[in-house]
Structure formats: C-alpha cells, structure tokens
Chains A and B, each alone.
Chain A
Amino acid sequence: DAGITQSPRHKVTETGTPVTLRCHQTENHRYMYWYRQDPGHGLRLIHYSYGVKDTDKGEVSDGYSVSRSKTEDFLLTLESATSSQTSVYFCAISESKGSSGSYNEQFFGPGTRLTVL
C-alpha cells in the first residue's frame, strides 16, 4: 500500500470554526489531491497540487484553501466551516501526469470523516 496518512481520521466541529486536514505521504510523489465524497455525488475534486507551492482548483473549491510547503504534506483548510462541508475527505497521490507510458494512477488515503454541526 502507498504510504499515505490522513489526520485527523474523525472530527466534529461547529459552524464558523476553522478546520485543517492534513495529508502526509512517504512516496515522494509529485501530485497530491483532495477530494470530498458525498452520497450520490461520488468523488469530487477540491484542489490539487503539482509541486511544492504549486496548486490549482478543482470542481468544488469554493470555501476551501490548500497549502503545500513540503513534498510530503498537503493541507486542506476550511476557513469557516459550514454544515454543507460535512463530508468524507480523501487525499490521493500520483507520481506523474498522464502521458504515454504513464497512467497517473492515483493512490488514496484512508479518509477523514468531518462533521460540521
């Protein structure tokens, strides 16, 4: 299994509070991703990173920010949590972009269950 950990694994917080989720990898992969998973929606990309300090928005980035100061860590921050951000959050990593001979398969962490009351 790819060396990906997420912390915390479970969190309950109140509306309006800031929340930071951490993804840590030991694979030295260049790409890192944050997804949220909700019933009926599958996985939706929030933000991703293609290198230290290099990030881009995904499909559902509103209300979220990210930072990557080291190759191994990718942080997801909810500046002011809302009940609509109650979800399961997954981090994924990938060695490279998709190209001839490279599939860009993504490897997933165990997830963080976040509940915003």
Chain B
Amino acid sequence: AQSVTQPDIHITVSEGASLELRCNYSYGATPYLFWYVQSPGQGLQLLLKYFSGDTLVQGIKGFEAEFKRSQSSFNLRKPSVHWSDAAEYFCAVGAGSGYSTLTFGKGTMLLVSP
C-alpha cells in the first residue's frame, strides 16, 4: 500500500523568505501526487497536482512542486512567503492508474513571522 510522509509537523518562515515543504511517498510505480492547503476552519483546497510530464509543476498562489523519482519526493516551494500563506499543507498520493482513493500525509503547519 502507498504511504506519504511529511517530516515536518511545524515550520516557521519569515515573511518574504523562501519556503520548502517536504513530502516523501512510498509507491512502486509512478504515483499521482497532490498538494492541498487548509486555512483555519476551512476545507482543503487543491494547490497543484502531478502525474507525468514536466517534473516541475506550477500551482495556484505562486506555489510550485518538483517531482523527484530517485528521491521519492514531491516537495512544495514558494520563493517569497506572504502572511496569508499561514495554513496547514497536506501532500497526497494516488496509487497509479485506476485508483479510487488518495492517501494523505499528516500535514505540515506553516507559521509566518513578521
């Protein structure tokens, strides 16, 4: 079965600094990969997704993620963080063609300091 690890429970970044959130997955073949964001008291919103093609994918709100097969990683990045980016971020994996469900990581809480 597939699994997702987000090693960092909390991360604090200064406003204007760059951000990288880590995500490692476990799955034998090429996975479908997603990043979601959850603001306090809200549902989850899709930031970006990857299945094939260019390993660097662009998402909404200035986020991007890079798929690295050799490292089984799909890290989320943003060059300059804004205070409104403070939220919880979830990485998720769908296991190959024909999957019906996603497996989510436990999330990383991003705090933005002034």
- A interface list, Cβ under 8 A from B: 4, 31, 33, 40-45, 48, 50, 56, 58, 90, 92, 97-100, 103-111
Given the complex, which residues of A lie within 8 Å of B43, measured CB to CB?
4, 90, 108-111
- Within 8 Å by CB of A106, from B41, B102, B105, lies B102
Are B32 and A103 closer than 8 Å at their CB atoms?
yes
Given the complex, which residues of A lie within 8 Å of B45, measured CB to CB?
108
Minimum CB distance partner of A90 in chain B = B43
Q: Give B80-111 as 1s and 0s: 1 = Cβ < 8 Å from A's Cβ atoms.
A: 00000000001000101111111011110000
Minimum CB distance partner of A109 in chain B = B43
Minimum CB distance partner of A30 in chain B = B100
- B interface list, Cβ under 8 A from A: 9, 32, 34, 36, 41-46, 49, 51, 90, 94, 96-102, 104-107
In the A-B complex, the 6 residue pairs with the closest CB atoms: A108-B43, A42-B106, A108-B44, A98-B99, A43-B104, A98-B94
Given the complex, which residues of A lie within 8 Å of B34, measured CB to CB?
103, 105
Alpha-carbon distance between A108 and B105 when the two chains are bound, in angstroms:
16
- Within 8 Å by CB of B99, from A43, A45, A104, lies A104
Alpha-carbon distance between A43 and B104 when the two chains are bound, in angstroms:
6
Instruction: Report how many A-B pairs have Cβ atoms within 8 Å.
Output: 65
- Known contacts A43-B44, A48-B101, A97-B100; 8 additional CB pairs below 8 A are A33-B101, A42-B106, A45-B102, A98-B97, A99-B97, A104-B102, A105-B34, A111-B43
Given the complex, which residues of A lie within 8 Å of B101, measured CB to CB?
33, 45, 48, 58
Are B100 and A42 closer than 8 Å at their CB atoms?
no
Given the complex, which residues of B lie within 8 Å of A58, measured CB to CB?
101
Alpha-carbon distance between A98 and B9 when the two chains are bound, in angstroms:
28
Minimum CB distance partner of B6 in chain A = A42
Q: Given A42-B104, A108-B44, are A97 and B99 neighbors across the interface (CB < 8 Å)?
A: yes
